[in-house]
Amino acid sequence: MRDRLAVMAASACGVLLVVQYFVNADWLQASYRLLLSWMQAIFAFALVVGVLAVIRDRIARAGRTTEERVNAVVMVGAALVISLLGFVGGTGRESPFQWAFVHLQAPMQTTVFSLLAFYVATAAYRGFRARTIESGVLVVAALIVLLGRVPIGEWLTPVLPGGADWILNTPALAAKRAILIGIGLGMAATSLRVIAGIERTYLGGR
């Protein structure tokens, strides 16, 4: 009964929003705006639920070793402290919340992703090998764009930036366009399946 209600809700919303794209009626436009505002609110609550679920899960899993317990305390503690700072002190530019974002969170997050630079370098040496003609094409394209897109390549010879431009705007564009078209068709098919009530994986596999 509950699942049927959920599927009907999904189908009804889907049909209404497809119809309103083509039909210009006042009640349709009003329903459209209402659903957009509901989507926003529901999604916001979903985000809050997600955060609480991660915290709850981390507390439940902590306890095997001292280090794990300490790290769990650090994680939950940091979440609580930042939340308090944000709710009590506000999110203004001079607030402790903003300070923590600028001096702690953002730099740490950037550093984590910058680790990939080192692993990309080792991958370039170990993994980028022209074992076949096709992989040779990949390697040559990568080399041209690597050098053609930075000042040293532009300084060495205009052939490199010209080659990089052509690769980006012709063969690479063609392949990506085909991928986009394929994904577009696939997503349209999935949307139709959701609206028709055939696709029900959002019910948790039931």
Partner 1 sequence: MNERSLIFLALAGIVSAALLLRPGLPIGVTDSAHEVFELIESLDSGDVVMISFDHEASSLPEVGPLGAAIADHCFRKRINVVGLALFAEGTAAGYELLTERAGGAGARYGDDWIYLGFRPQYTAAILGMGESIPDVFAADYRGTEIGTLPLGRRVLDYNDIDLVVSVADGSMPTYWVEYAQARYGQKIVAALSAVMVTSFTPYLEAGQLAGILPGLRGAAAYEQLLNSPGAGSRGMDAISGAHVLLALLVVAGNIQLWRSRRRRRNP
Partner 2 sequence: MNLETSITALLTLAIYSFLAGDNPIYRFAEHLLVGLTLGYSLVITVSSIIMPEVISPLATGEWQAAFPLLLGSMMFLRLVPRARGWSQIPMAIIIGCGAGLALPAMLKARVVQQLGATIEGVGSVDGILILIGVATTLVYFIFTRRDSGAAGFTSRIGRVFMMVFFGATFAYTVMSRMTLLIGRLEFLLGDWLGLLG
Scan residues 141-200 and list those touching partner 2 (CB under 8 A). 141-146, 149-150, 164, 166-185, 187-188, 190-192, 194-195
From the list 25, 30, 33, 46, which residue makes contact with partner 2 (rule: CB under 8 A)? 46
Q: Under rule CB under 8 A, which residues in 47-66 are in contact with partner 2?
A: 47-49, 51-56
| Rounded to 5°, angle at Cα 205 from 200 and 206 | 75
202 binds partner 2 (CB under 8 A): yes
Tell me the C-alpha distance between 11 and 8, whole Å: 5
Determine the Cα–Cα distance for residues 206 and 204; give it in Å rounded to an integer.
6
The CA-based angle 79-85-89, given to 5 degrees, is 160
Q: C-beta of 137: minimal distance to partner 1 in Å?
A: 13
Rounded to whole angstroms, the Cα distance separating 197 from 203 reads 11
Residues of span 14-73 touching partner 1 by CB under 8 A: 21, 29, 32-33, 36-37, 39-40, 42-44, 47
Q: Which does 70 bind (CB under 5 to 8 A by kind): partner 2, partner 1, none?
A: partner 2
DSSP 92: S
Q: Of partner 2, partner 1, none, which one sits near residue 60, judging by CB under 5 to 8 A according to partner kind?
A: none
Kindly identify the residues of this chain, within the stretch 120-159, that bind partner 1 according to CB under 8 A: 120-122, 124-131, 139, 142-143, 146-147, 149-155
Dmax (CA) for the chain in angstroms is 70
Binding to partner 2, residues 63-102 (CB under 8 A): 67, 70-72, 74-83, 86-87, 91, 97, 99-101
How many residues in the shown chain lie near partner 2 by CB under 8 A?
Answer: 122
Residue choice 60, 111, 152, 205 for contact with partner 2 (CB under 8 A): 111
List the structure tokens of 22: 């083509």
Task: Supply the minimum distance, in Å, between the C-beta of residue 53 and partner 2.
Answer: 6
Q: Using CB distances below 5 to 8 A depending on partner kind, what does residue 96 bind out of partner 2, partner 1, none?
A: none
Please list, in sequence order, all residues whose beta carbon lies within 8 angstroms of the beta carbon of residue 85, skipping any fewer than 6 positions away. 95, 96, 97, 100
Per-residue DSSP letter, 204: T
The angle at the Cα of 160, spanning 157 to 163, to the nearest 5 degrees, equals 140
